[in-house]
Each structure stands twice: as structure tokens, then as C-alpha cells.
Amino acid sequence: MPSVPPPEAPFQTAPPQPPPPDDEGAPERGPDEPPWPVWVAPAAIAVGFAFGIVASIIVGGIAKAGGSSLTSPTPAVSLISDLLFDASFVGAALYLATVGGGHVTPADFGFRRVRFRLAAGSVLAAAVGYYVISAIYAALLHLHGNDKLPKELGVSKSTAALVGATVFVCVVAPIAEEFFFRGFMFGALRRMRIVVAGHEIGTWVAAILTGILFGLAHTGSASSQYLIPLGFLGFVLCLVRWRTRSLYPCMALHSINNSLALGISQLHWTAGEILALMIGALTVIGVLTAPLAQRAPAVS
């Protein structure tokens, strides 16, 4: 009789492999936490500040060679210096996030689509809380005065300076600063594991530290008495980022706040003009950044 071949072993697949571990000794990643470790946060501040200073010196030197005054720079020189300073921090964040976290995606920084209801509700709640606390703070300290940055950018000197300052204050700054502070810095600091009385408070500590750094970053561009409200705004924006898991509501609130400050304090525009400025700025921000969220799943 012909021999019967033994039955073939059933097809087997390799057992699922666990996700690759983070850097040795680093805490595991929690939900919505980026792959880069905590140490890149202070490193990015140092690198960004160093390159920002170098860029400002170079711009100042070129401007002086062209006849501009270093003590009273033209609006164009001030605007270019501010743009390069923000770009230095964005570049530092991108570089160190890649060094510390390997392959990173826009979603790791918070470029995720989010339901309009969740985004609008978070922005509204944060705005009400921020403006109420800021009003109480201003009333208690009898604060009066305006931010200096738009004046340095020459909003009252020419139409070109007004347009450049408006784009920088209402579009560029919200994108760059939210990317660095809420997208990069807050994400890195959230990876701290701080437990008090059995409760994990690392996220709250990260929000407080990021808010303080955000306030200090405006030293020189805002009056000193407004640094505390700005720090509180930075803290509130972290809570929005945490609640929505998206950077878009943060950029929206930041842009709305800057539009209000510019339109009311500096330009003395009407309510309709300020509303048009807000809508225009938010539209430009959306057009520039929406492609970054195309491949990321929407936040539910």
C-alpha cells in the first residue's frame, strides 16, 4: 500500500510583538504623549534661544550696514528678527524631537482633526476663564497699558508695516508658539511621572511649567505686569490641548486673543473690523496647517 503522507502542520503566524520600548530608563508613553523624552524640552529652549540670538545679531549687523539704527530698528528689521527668533525655536523643536523620538509625525505635535463641538466648547470655556481671571488681576493691581510689540513693528507708520505686523501677531505667532509650547514642550514635560497621594499629577505640573515658560518668553515684547496673565494663558492653552488632544483649538484661541489685543489696544478698530480680522486670521491658519492633519485620525 502506498504510504500516506503525514498531515501538514496548520499554518501558524508569529505571535504579536509588543511595541518597541522607549529609550531605556524612560517612562512608558501614555495616551497622547509624544515619543520624545523629557530632556529634549530644556535642550530645545537652549538651542532655540542660542540660534535666535545669533539670527538677531546677524539681522542687526546687516541692517546697520544698510544704515539702520540698532537702538531704533525699522519695522522691517524688527519683524524679520522676530520671525527668525520664532523659526529658531520651531527648528530646535523639530530637530530634538527627531533626535529624541526617532520618526515623528505631525499628529505627535497635535495636528489632529477634532470635532467642532469639542473644539468650540473647549475654546469658549478657556477664553471665559482666562478673561475673567485676567480682569480680576488687572482690577486688583490697577493695571493700565498696552503690549509693546505691535508698536515696535510699526503698525501706525505704514500700511505695509500694519499688514506685516498683523500677519505676524495673528497668524505666525499662534502657529509657531503653539507648535513649540503646546505641541512640543507640553508633550515632553507630560512624560514626567509625578505621583502625589496616589494621584498622577504630571500633566498638571507640565501645564504649569509650560505656562510659566510661555509667560517668560514674552519678556521684552510685553509689559512686565502682563507676564503673569500671559503665563496663565499659557497654562489654559495647555488644558485645551490636553482636553481636545489637538493643536488646532489652541492656535484658534491664541489667534483670537492676539486679534483682540491688536484690534482693541493698538488699532482701535470697530467690533466688525476685529471680527473680520479674527475670521481672516483663522482662515489663513487653517489653510496653512490643515494639510498636516490629513493622515491623522480625527479626535472623537
Under the banding of pLDDT at 50, 70 and 90, the label for residue 238 is: very high
- Three-class SS of 20-61: CCCCCCCCCCCCCCCCCCCCHHHHHHHHHHHHHHHHHHHHHH
Contact 244, 163 (CB under 8 A): no
pLDDT in tens, 35-50: 999 999 999 999 999 9
Letter for the amino acid at 198?
Answer: G
Question: 14 pLDDT exceeds 70?
Answer: no
pLDDT digits (tens, 9 = 90+) for 127-153: 999 999 999 998 998 876 555 566 667
Ordered by start, the domain boundaries in the chain are 40-144+153-293
- Please state the pTM of the whole predicted model: 0.86
Q: In this predicted structure, which of 16-30, 39-53, 257-271 has the lowest mean pLDDT?
A: 16-30
pLDDT at residue 223 in the model: 78
